[in-house]
Amino acid sequence: MKAYVFPGQGSQFPEMGKDLYESSAEAKKLFDEADSILGFSITDIMFNGTPEDLKETRVTQPAIFLHSVILAKVLGNDFKPEMVAGHSLGEFSALVAAGAITFQEGLKLVSKRANAMQSACDITEGTMAAILGLDDEVVEKVCMEIDGVVVPANYNCPGQLVISGEIEAVKKACEKLTEAGARRAMLLPVGGAFHSPLMEPARADLAKAIENTVIKTPVCPVYQNVTASAVIDPVEIKTNLVSQLTSPVKWTQTMHAMIADGATQVVEVGPGKVLQGLFKKVDRSFEAASAEV
């Protein structure tokens, strides 16, 4: 069974999507439409911008979404998902690719999400850190013992968990986790405490937009970050999307669930190769590749 997965923030690169734009009339039409919907030329930033230009949250999230979704559309009949999932932002790409949300509505939601997250970052400074080489349970226990807000945010794969929260609390957790035997505990170059309670203002803001969006039954099960289980019910999809901003991304659990449900190969749709690498860390024999046109 073939699973398609969609990357999240951090996978961007200069000239992303330019080859699609130049080689496909359908891709060109969608990219041009995206410029119109967003009210600025995101294609110019994607194709000609610097790495710094692409790091801005209001640009990064729609850029990755566009690269992923347009690539899936250009695949045409070759895109036949039996299950899909996306990491954080990538969940929106997965839902559009699986027919649950239209391209236009998906882009508007992603843009709203990016701006809401940026606003939440402006309200309260926060950060994230990658913890390598410890069991999840150890990281969870240390986070609970720290004064201040610090929580597990991204369960990326066994032995790799990202924590998120207030700057001083995250730094203190890194010290404690290093003492507990972490191979590495390093702060990440991010602008906020994503997937933590500090994103509550963004969650409340995005909830209204999600409630007003028509979500249909997807063509295949979508494994959502909040539950790490297969979902097809539109009401449940909406509920999980609203919770996603302040809840951890259960990617390790998602990979195990997809494999348990019959996935035998995974195709990563969008920039980078991070997600297929994570599948390989769960099972070295697992067949993983990037989508190509």
Q: Which of 140, 167, 187 is the C-terminal boundary of a domain?
A: 187
Q: Is residue 56 domain-shared with residue 113, that is, in the same domain?
A: yes
Residue 289, SS3? strand
Q: Based on the domain organization, do 235 and 246 belong to the same domain?
A: yes
- Domain region containing 240: 2-122+197-290
In this structure, what are the phi and psi dihedrals at residue 149, rounded to the nearest 5 degrees? -90, 115
Do 12 and 117 fall into the same domain? yes
Contact 142/161 with Cβ under 8 angstroms? Answer: no
Residues 6+ away with beta carbon under 8 Å from 9: 57, 60, 61, 64, 88, 89, 194
138 and 111 in a common domain: no
Which positions ≥6 away from 251 have C-beta within 8 Å? 87, 154, 155, 156, 157, 225, 228, 275, 278
* Residue numbers annotated as active site: 88, 195
Give me the number of domains the chain comprises. Answer: 2
Structure confidence by residue, pLDDT tens digits, 62-80: 999 999 999 999 999 889 9
pLDDT value at position 250?
Answer: 98
Are residues 243 and 280 located together in one domain of the fold? yes
Q: Are residues 104 and 28 in the same domain?
A: yes
137 and 239 housed in the same domain? no
Counting every residue, how long is the chain? 293
Are 70 and 79 a contacting pair, CB within 8 Å?
A: no
Contact 143, 151 (CB under 8 A): yes
Angstrom distance (rounded) from CA 19 to CA 62: 17
Q: How far from chain centre, in Å, is Cα 186? A: 20
Whether the per-residue pLDDT at 144 is higher than 90: the answer is: yes
Residue 61 pLDDT exceeds 90 = yes
In a domain, 192, yes or no: no
Q: Are residues 43 and 24 in the same domain?
A: yes
Residues 51 and 143 occupy one common structural domain: no
What are the tokens at 219? 């063509």
CA proximity to 155, closest of 252, 276, 259, 241: 252
Task: Print the SS3 string covering 44-63.
Answer: HHHHHCCHHHHHCHHHHHHH
- Asked whether residue 74 is assigned to any structural domain, the reply reads yes
Specify the 3-state DSSP secondary structure of 182: coil
Q: What is the largest CA-CA distance in the chain?
A: 55
- The reply to whether 139 and 210 lie within a common domain is no
Residues 197-241 have pLDDT tens digits of 999 999 988 999 999 999 999 999 999 999 999 999 999 999 999
Chain centroid, CA 69 distance in Å: 13
> What would the pLDDT profile of 15-50 be if each residue is shown by its tens digit?
999 999 999 999 999 999 999 999 999 999 999 999
> Mean pLDDT of all residues in the chain?
95
Domain end point (choices 187, 219, 241): 187
CATH number of the domain bearing residue 170: 3.30.70.250
E strand or H helix at 153, and its extent? strand 150-157
Q: What pLDDT band is residue 293 in, cutting at 50, 70 and 90?
A: confident
The helix/strand/coil state of 192 is coil
Assign 176 to helix, strand or coil.
helix
Residues 166 and 178 in one domain: yes
